[in-house]
Amino acid sequence: MITTRPSSHLTEFIIPLRDSLRTSTRLMIFVLIMVVIPMEYGNAQVMTTEKETNRPGGNYSLQFDGIDDRVTVPYDASFPTEVFTISAWIKLAQPAGRAAIIARGEDDNSFNLSWHLYVLGNGTLEVMLENSNEQNFCYPINNCVPMGTCIITGDLFVADDIWHHVAVTRDASGTLALYIDGEKRAGCEGTGVPSSNNFQVLSIGCTFGTIGPPPGGTEPPVWFFSGLIDEPAMWNVALSDMQIADVFSVGIDPLSTGLVGYWAFDEGTGQVVVDMSLAGNDGFLGETPQVDSADPIWEGAPVSVEDVSILSDRQMVLAPNYPNPFNPTTQIMFSLPVDSDLRLVVIDVLGRVVKLLAKGRYKAGTYTVTANMKNFTSGLYLYQLDTPTAKLTGKMLLIK
């Protein structure tokens, strides 16, 4: 069914992500997508003449309250330790204290934190490493246990309530670098060695649980993030300056070398956050897999007719489908700047057209199509809009 009027949004509901999204399935899906149909991963495409900066991709992010909210990722041996890259998009005002972005944390029975990326109370970016002797090394100020040398080459302030992309890398030689919006802002050499004696969960938006006091010391506070986080990711390799700039400007390739965690936060509903890397390190909102007070809130909304219409004054637009994931129906919105012949189809991961949604001559304007996938199996599908002048593709996930 096609209508030129905005349809009411389908009721949001919690959909459990099923066992079909295992590592082997992800591998098959991503390889086939990359080979058969090039697309901007994670988003429907909008034709523009210049790329927006300081803004993450996708429709959704997670809002953390700074009190107890977190995302928990159960421990996996793939978590990096000494050599790593960590990145995320963040948006926060200046915090009252330290605000954790992502941490390979600890608990009362494990004092070894490994690594932890956070924002200081003064609004600047910092990373902490902890070795097996419970010594903390903080960079780039080197203001905990001194170790190595650091040079700061740019502004590290990120707490101005606008989106920033942040990243930190550490290589096998102990060289560490911090990046903001794709630009290297600080570098350190001879840094402390993160502990590998750590089997705790990974946490996003806080340090893990109760950190536990150092021997003979006082229990430090848990550092909670107050603001928005999107697209956190980690690699077990140290990305180069050019690769970090590419992650910032283009996005994350789910098949990139060493990627062992990439949570796009594009579910928009439910408790599960899917790891889009091949490592399959899925996580969940809050302290437990069930709904609890520590759940961050999904932030974002489906693209409106008005938003699409504004863009369509100069370009063809294919908006992200909503809801996504869905069962069994979802809505796809597109807009044309001029009259055009078009075809809108659904394509499976083998590159086969499995459903025709729209075809023919359409006047300039904005349209909404309802895709009913009742008779199709669960999985990843593409929806593709073809005209004589452009071809746009989006991704949607059917879960029954």
Residue 340 has a pLDDT of: 92
Residue 30 has a pLDDT of: 37
Identify whether residues 342 and 311 lie together within a single domain: yes
Residue 56 has a pLDDT of: 64
What is the percentage of the chain residues whose pLDDT exceeds 90? 52
How far is the CA of 295 from the CAs of 20, 65, 193, 205, 245, in angstroms?
25, 9, 32, 11, 31
Q: Which residue has the tokens 């150092």?
A: 214
**How confident is the model over 178-228, as pLDDT tens digits?**
999 999 999 999 999 998 877 888 999 988 644 444 455 544 557 899 999
Q: Give the pLDDT band of residue 54 (cuts 50, 70, 90).
A: low
Residue 391 has a pLDDT of: 83
> Is it the case that residue 46 has pLDDT exceeding 80?
no
Residue 205 has a pLDDT of: 95
Residue 226 has a pLDDT of: 93
Structure tokens at 61: 């992010």
**How confident is the model over 341-389, as pLDDT tens digits?**
999 999 987 889 999 999 999 999 999 999 999 999 988 888 999 998 8
Distance between CA atoms of residues 33 and 293, nearest Å: 38
Provide φ and ψ at 237, rounded to 5°. Answer: -135, 160
Considering 259, 282, 299, which residue would you say is the last residue of a domain? 299
**How confident is the model over 148-170, as pLDDT tens digits?**
999 999 999 999 999 999 999 99
> Is it the case that residue 118 has pLDDT exceeding 90?
yes
Distance between CA atoms of residues 340 and 399, nearest Å: 33
Residue 33 has a pLDDT of: 34
Q: Looking at per-residue confidence, does 193 or 325 come out higher?
A: 193
Q: Give the pLDDT band of residue 6 (cuts 50, 70, 90).
A: very low
> How many structural domains does the chain have?
2
Judging by DSSP bridges, how do beta strands 297-299 and 329-336 pair with one another?
Answer: unpaired
CATH number assigned to the domain comprising residue 194? 2.60.120.200
Identify whether residues 327 and 234 lie together within a single domain: no
**How confident is the model over 90-104, as pLDDT tens digits?**
999 999 889 999 998
Q: Which domain holds residue 333?
A: 2-52+304-398
- Residue (of 253, 105, 132) closest to 196 by Cα position: 132
Q: Give the pLDDT band of residue 51 (cuts 50, 70, 90).
A: very low
Residue 361 has a pLDDT of: 95
**Whole-angstrom Cα Rg for the chain:** 22
Residue 394 has a pLDDT of: 82
Residue 52 has a pLDDT of: 39
Considering 299, 327, 361, which residue would you say is the last residue of a domain? 299
What is the percentage of the chain residues whose pLDDT exceeds 70? 76
Q: Looking at per-residue confidence, does 310 or 362 come out higher?
A: 362
Identify whether residues 15 and 142 lie together within a single domain: no
Distance between CA atoms of residues 75 and 380, nearest Å: 27
Identify whether residues 347 and 242 lie together within a single domain: no
Beta strands in 92-130 (DSSP E): 99-104, 114-119, 125-130
Identify whether residues 112 and 257 lie together within a single domain: yes
Identify whether residues 159 and 280 lie together within a single domain: yes
Give 221: exposed, middle or buried? Use CB within 10 Å, 0-12, 13-18, 19+. exposed
Q: Give the pLDDT band of residue 106 (cuts 50, 70, 90).
A: low
Considering 273, 299, 325, which residue would you say is the last residue of a domain? 299
Lowest mean pLDDT among 27-36, 105-114, 182-191, 330-339: 27-36
| pTM greater than 0.75 | no
Distance between CA atoms of residues 152 and 154, nearest Å: 6
> Is it the case that residue 36 has pLDDT exceeding 60?
no
Residue 268 has a pLDDT of: 81
**How confident is the model over 389-400, as pLDDT tens digits?**
888 888 788 888
Residue 299 has a pLDDT of: 82
Identify whether residues 246 and 390 lie together within a single domain: no
Identify whether residues 318 and 290 lie together within a single domain: no
Identify whether residues 210 and 342 lie together within a single domain: no
The mean pLDDT value for 97-113 works out to 74
Residues 6+ apart with CB under 8 A from 217: none
147-151, Cβ contacts within 8 angstroms, sequence gap of 24 or more:
147/190, 147/191, 147/192, 148/174, 148/176, 148/188, 148/189, 148/190, 148/191, 148/192, 149/188, 149/189, 149/190, 150/186, 150/187, 150/188, 150/189, 151/186, 151/187, 151/188
> Is it the case that residue 116 has pLDDT exceeding 50?
yes
Secondary structure class of 148 (helix, strand, coil): coil
pLDDT, the chain, mean: 80
> Is it the case that residue 110 has pLDDT exceeding 60?
no
Residues 6+ apart with CB under 8 A from 300: 58, 59, 60, 61, 268
Residue 216 has a pLDDT of: 52
Q: What is the largest CA-CA distance in the chain?
A: 76
Residue 138 has a pLDDT of: 93
Identify whether residues 195 and 221 lie together within a single domain: yes
Identify whether residues 369 and 385 lie together within a single domain: yes
Identify whether residues 248 and 127 lie together within a single domain: yes
Lowest mean pLDDT among 32-46, 80-94, 100-114, 223-237: 32-46
CATH number assigned to the domain comprising residue 384? 2.60.40.1930
> Is it the case that residue 108 has pLDDT exceeding 60?
no
Residue 312 has a pLDDT of: 53
Residues 6+ apart with CB under 8 A from 355: 345, 346, 371, 373, 376
Instruction: For residue 299, list its beta bridge partners.
Output: 61
Sign of the CA dihedral with 351 first, then 356, 361, and 366 last = negative
